Structure 1
């Protein structure tokens, strides 16, 4: 079986372009590539294109990176991701620092419920941090004190508005372009055959190593949360991604004694609603359907009208949390537990994990 090639997120490409533009703006020389740090400590070098240095009083430069998503079927694969950097002397410490804004093709947040405030460019927290760190590195490498400068970074995706039509952005209230995403900087390919083969192979190894209880996680954050909480051997952890039903059936076929399922709210809700494949490609979670489901499973038949109009699963959870509806949240996890046990025929434990890696609830 061909090994699929990983690629790089839009956020990583933006950080590399920003560092290249910063180097050009500071030094007056156009770099051919830029090397940036990733959240896991690795460093990656990106080739740069369309580097340009403006004439004028301000130090202004632009660079671009062509996104390589590897073998992932990503709509943004091959897209140009650009950054313009303007460096000026700060009047004082209050005006010094890095400001990151969205340019052409970068969407703007218009609805609540996302990880970003309404009105801000759709550049998620990890890409923002990567861009900041990359630009700071450029100053450090060239011996320029960033504390005396005001640096404006404008991230653009020239084809972003067109490409956004093929995404769920408009439904989420992100208008005018794409989101700059990424939590690790790396795009892991999501070929169905490759992923399910990896799940099966991981369980084969676990069984051979004498593992009796298997941990299925929807992502690395959820996996790490259980690692810190349960201390199972490393072979017990299987990154199932969005292949929930397949993984449950495989666990049953491998005759494990127990399943541990770890995921964040949106994935746990999908499991509770008996949705076998949890990736948005196979259907985004409809907030209205989710709210109707929550009303049905509520023991006290609660009026959850205050959830109506929620834009995302995240916003539904935040509203429930603000209203202290721990019973509803618990019942969602119990419904997910029932689904896991019904599909696999095995006893199970479900862990609801927050984005910060903390386990909120275990059932």
Structure 2
């Protein structure tokens, strides 16, 4: 399928790790209670979700004595993440009414992370199953018990195949979640390119950093800029670094709201130009690059009229940068752009937040810096 065809067709929704766990739970309990597991589990979505229910394919189920295990392959739809394709299972055991009363116990097993630091919705020591998916799993389990007329309870253990390896590609190590992935999902479904999900991730990383006593945060627009910023700022611990992507204003406002005293942004010139425009969200397709602004900044840097005109007609921000001759002129052009970005950042972060910006060259090294170094 071509890129154009992908753009023209409707984007496909997926489901969260929480929905996968809930479906596996219902299938495992059905196998224990009725002797058969459904090929598709009909499950409730978390409380407060805009949609009510979801049908989730069940990849398999098996019984072993008094336990049953069912598993689901997590599908991220057209917004795949590190957990897309992960096998998420539930091992279930029934508990008679006379043993414990009508109680459902839920824990995380192999491949599900465990929280070790404060600042997350789950307290330290517990399995990394967030409140909304926890409620969803328990609702699905209760449905299965009620539908079978079973008055007792159940023990549920959520597992994720290769969860510890998958977690290395997530923010869990930085959040102090060890041993596997988190079971997440406030809505139960994954909507492609969810801004809310990314913003919630930024918020979580910042909260954990503040709970650990950190006062400085280091934002980057991606993995490469984060690696360069880490090398530039070895004084900051890994937990201070946040991949904030295009959420320029949100990250700064949240840092200020949580009481950080200093932030540094690491980026390349393309994002720097969008920051200099004062855009809250700097994605390449959200707003066009303001080449008139870049042309004015090139003039302020001392570029000739010919260069300013060429910058005004540039194709991309990188192209505009490369039209300015290497050496003092280009460095001054980049510095002035960084200063404009810094002014915008201060507008978003407020007067009490000490902000600096570090723009990296496309090939190597630091292109420009603005604001306090630390």
Normalised TM-score (structure 1): 0.55
Structure 2 partner of 1:52: 62
| Aligned-residue offset at 1:135 | 0.6
TM-superposed CA distance for 1:124, in Å, is 1.0
1:168 offset after TM fit, Å? 2.3
Partners of 2:163 and 2:181 within 8 A in 1: yes
Alignment check: 8 A CA contact 2:218 2:241 kept: no
1:139 equivalenced with 2:145 (yes/no): yes
* 2:127 aligned partner: 121
Corresponding position of 1:17 = 24
Cα deviation for residue 163 of structure 1 reads 1.3
The alignment covers a number of residue pairs equal to 249
Match for residue 150 of structure 1?
153
Going from structure 1 to structure 2, the CA distance change for 1:133 and 1:282 (only over 3 Å counts) comes to: farther
Q: 1:170 to 1:32 in 2, by over 3 A?
A: same
Counterpart mapping for 1:161-176 below 5 A = 161-176=164-179
Distance 1:22 1:87 in 2: 8
Aligned pairs for 1:257-336 (under 5 A) are: 275=219, 277=221, 283=226, 329=259
Q: Check the 8 A contact 1:113/1:310 in 2, yes or no.
A: no
Equivalent position of 1:219 in the other structure:
196
- What residue number does 2:72 align with? 65
Match of 2:185 among 162, 182, 207: 182
Q: How far 1:276 sits from its partner (Å)?
A: 7.3
Q: Work out the CA distance in 2 between the residues paired with 1:282 and 1:129.
A: 38
Are residues 100 and 111 of structure 1, via their aligned partners in 2, closer, same or farther at CA, if it must alter by over 3 Å? same
Q: Distance in 2 between matches of 1:340 and 1:273?
A: 20
Instruction: State the secondary structure of the residue aligned to 2:180.
Output: coil
For 1:332 and 1:130, how far apart are their aligned partners in 2?
A: 38
Mapped to 2, the partners of 1:63 and 1:327 lie a distance apart of: 43
Partner residue of 2:52 out of 20, 29, 42: 42
Normalised to the residue count of structure 2, the TM-score between the two structures is: 0.54
Report the counterpart of residue 318 of structure 1 in structure 2: none
**1:194-244: CA deviations, max 9, x gaps?**
x8xxxxxxxxxxxxxxxxxxxxxx528xxxxxxxxxxxxxxxxxxxx66xx
Which position in structure 1 is the counterpart of 2:331? none
What CA distance in whole angstroms lies between the structure 1 residues aligned with 2:120 and 2:34? 38
**Structure showing greater relative contact order (alpha-carbon pairs closer than 8 Å, 6 or more residues apart):** 1
Query: 104, 111, 114: which is aligned to 2:117?
Result: 111
Partner secondary structure for residue 91 of structure 1: helix
Structure 2 residue runs without a partner (length 5+): 1-6, 210-215, 243-255, 264-274, 281-339, 351-374
55, 77, 88: which one pairs with 2:84?
77
Contact 1:52 1:62 in 2 (8 A): yes
Distance 1:78 1:327 in 2: 36
Q: Secondary structure at the match of 2:185?
A: coil
Q: Quickly say closer, same or farther: Cα 1:264–1:105, change in 2 above 3 A.
A: closer
**Partners of 1:48 and 1:69 in 2: CA distance:** 15
Measure, in 1, the Cα distance between the counterparts of 2:164 and 2:118: 21
Moved runs in structure 1, 4+ residues, more than 3 A?
263-269, 272-277, 279-284, 308-313, 326-333, 338-345, 348-351
